Every structure is written in structure tokens, then in C-alpha cells.
Amino acid sequence: MQATLTQLIQHRSLTKSQAKEIILGIGKDAFSDHEIVGLMVSLQTRSLTLDEIQGFREALLELAITPDIDASNAIDLCGTGGDGKNTFNISTTTSFVLASMGYQVIKHGNYGVSSMCGSSNVLEHLGVKFSNDSGDLNKQKEQFNLCFLHAPLFHPVMKKVAPLRKSLGIPTFFNIMGPLVNPVQPAYQLTGTFSLELARIYHHVLSSHRKNYSVLHSMDGYDEISLTGDTRVFSKLDDTILNATNVNVESINPQEIHGGDSTEEAAQILTSILKGEGTSSQNLVVALNTAQGIVTLNPAKKIDEAFATALAHIHSGDAFRHFESFIKYHKTN
């Protein structure tokens, strides 16, 4: 590791094979905690290269516990985080809306490290029990069109570095890797990044590994469609700009999609939106992210029509009834 750290300090990037060997080495307990922290901090001083991301991705998937789940018609919704915006849990809320509309969702997620409340934090607070049992996950997917894959249960390396990431309290390259290493690799993906450069790399990586995908980057820094400005959308089919005018609504103020100051508040925001009782801005943002998920799964759909359908569904409260059944399952099993 010392040679690798010296290489990084000298601003030289890693080859794909070097990156892969580092993750494999962490998996074999070949490095000390201090060396791993040094690696994370060194890599955080610059952008990752395509070769580094591909090497890290290959190794994490090689070491992953892979449940036996059919993901050929499923979508994952998982952003990088690290945008510093502290929005409410947009992708998690969107996942429940999509699932309640009949779409299959296999969501990959984790506890927040640099953010106040990640998807795992809010779901655990609401009563979700994390599992890596294939039978249980398939049962959830069949009953609710949704199952949640808590990253540390499937990625031994992520479990190992979790305390180190938490102690650092800053985004690391593991934030970047999370959306790329869902252990079942669903055929479809809606994901977002905190930088345009990284969005382009995701676009390149996912083009070889997904039937279709949408990589989002709001030009004001969000890793989701925020409706605060323009969002760049890379897909397998095109490269477009999406904003409020596409769905005939007004742009919103960033403060209107704030995520609260506690896990309890984050959970309350999620449930209120699913009940159809969210604020107008919250509902619009979830509806447009849901619409982009629908278009990702079915490119023949038009974004404005998918948005109108999603918004009406949110207002109906049907998403909350679906969510309630999902939570009840977890509390009784």
C-alpha cells in the first residue's frame, strides 16, 4: 500500500488492475486501517478516472454476496450522495411510488456517511429489517414490487470500511461506487451524480452493463432531478436537458426540498409525501423523478405524460397504502 499511496500523492492515477487489486487486498485484510484511510483521503483530493472506477467496480462485484433474484425487468434508484445539499430522501420516496405503480424496484442503499440520513437510516427507522436471504427478498419483490439491498450485507469490503468512513465524515470513493455495484445488477437504473464529469463516466460504464439507464446531474449540483434548475440526463438513447418547463411547472427554491435535521424528520417527510400530503414542491420533485424512472423503463413514454400520471398517483395516497403493507411485512416477519 505504501507504494500506492506514494503514487497517489504524486498525482499519478491507478491503472484498472491496480484499482482492482486494492479492493481485493482490503477484502483479504491485507491493509491496516491507517492505510485504508490514507487511500480514501488521497483519492478524495481529485476526481477518479474511468480506469479506477472500473477496477474498483469489478473487484467489489467479484467479492459481493449475490442473492438469487431475477433483475431482468427491475430498476435500481441510487445516487452518489456527496452533493452537500441535504435534500429529503428523493430516490427512496421515488422507489416506493414506482413500486406502488407496478414497476419492479431492487434498490441498493446504505447508511448516510457525509449526509444526515441515507436510505438505510430512514428505512430502518420506519421498521424495515435488512436481509440478504434470497427467499425473503424474492418474497418482498413478488408481494410489493420492491426489495431493498443494504450494501454492507452484500459487500464485505463496504462493511469493513464503514467505521472508517463514518469516522472521516466526508464523502469517499465508496460513495461513487455504491450506485455501480448493486449485487444483482438490475437491467435498468436511475442514478445521479454530484458532478458532470462523474456523470459522463457513469454514462460510459452503464452503457455496457444496463439495458437502459438515466444518469442525472442537476447543473446546480444536485445528484437528482431537483427542479431548482436544469438537469443533464444521460441515457443509453440520448443526452438531454430536463427542467421545469418540460412538465409545465415553475422552478422551485432549494429550501423547499430540504431533508430536515433528523432521521425522524426525514421519515416524516417521506411518509407525508406518500400519503399525498407533501408540499407542492416535494410532490413535484418526486413525481418528476418517478416519471424519469418510468421513461427509463419504457423509453416510448413521454416525460410530461409520465409526470402527470405519477403526480396523480402521489395525490391519490395509493403509494402510502402500498408502503404501509411493505412496512407491516417487515414488522411481522
Q: What's the burial of 7, exposed, middle or buried (CB within 10 Å: 0-12/13-18/19+)?
A: middle
Mean pLDDT value across residues 12-24:
97
Please write the tens of the pLDDT for every residue from 237-247: 999 999 999 99
Measured in whole angstroms, the distance separating CA 244 from the mean position of its chain's CA atoms is 22
Mean pLDDT value across residues 23-28:
97
Sheet with 239-242, edge to edge strand ranges: 146-150, 104-109, 74-77, 188-192, 212-218, 231-235, 239-242
Mean pLDDT value across residues 137-153:
98
Question: Which helix (H) or strand (E) is 240 found in, with range?
Answer: strand 239-242
Please write the tens of the pLDDT for every residue from 67-78: 999 999 999 998
- What length does the chain have? 333
DSSP-derived secondary structure letter, 236? S
26 has a pLDDT exceeding 80: yes
Distance CA 145, CA 102 (A): 7
DSSP-derived secondary structure letter, 194? S
Q: What pairs with residue 242 in β-bridges? A: 231
- Is the four-CA dihedral 112, 115, 119, 121 of positive or negative sign? positive
Cell readout for 58 is: 469489478
Q: What is the mean pLDDT of the chain?
A: 95
82 has a pLDDT exceeding 70: no
What pLDDT was estimated at residue 6? Answer: 94
Please state, for a pLDDT cut of 90, what percent of the chain lies above it.
90
From the list 90, 88, 86, the residue with the least C-alpha distance to 98 is: 90
Domains plus CATH for the chain? 2-63 (1.20.970.10), 74-332 (3.40.1030.10)
Torsion angles phi and psi, residue 106, rounded to 5: -120, 95
Q: Which amino acid is residue 81, in one-letter code? A: G
How distant, in Å, are the alpha carbons of 7, 55, 173, 317 from that of 16? 14, 4, 15, 47
Cell readout for 296 is: 427509463
CA triple 312-329-282, angle to 5 deg = 30
151 has a pLDDT exceeding 70: yes
Please write the tens of the pLDDT for every residue from 204-229: 999 999 999 999 999 998 999 999 99
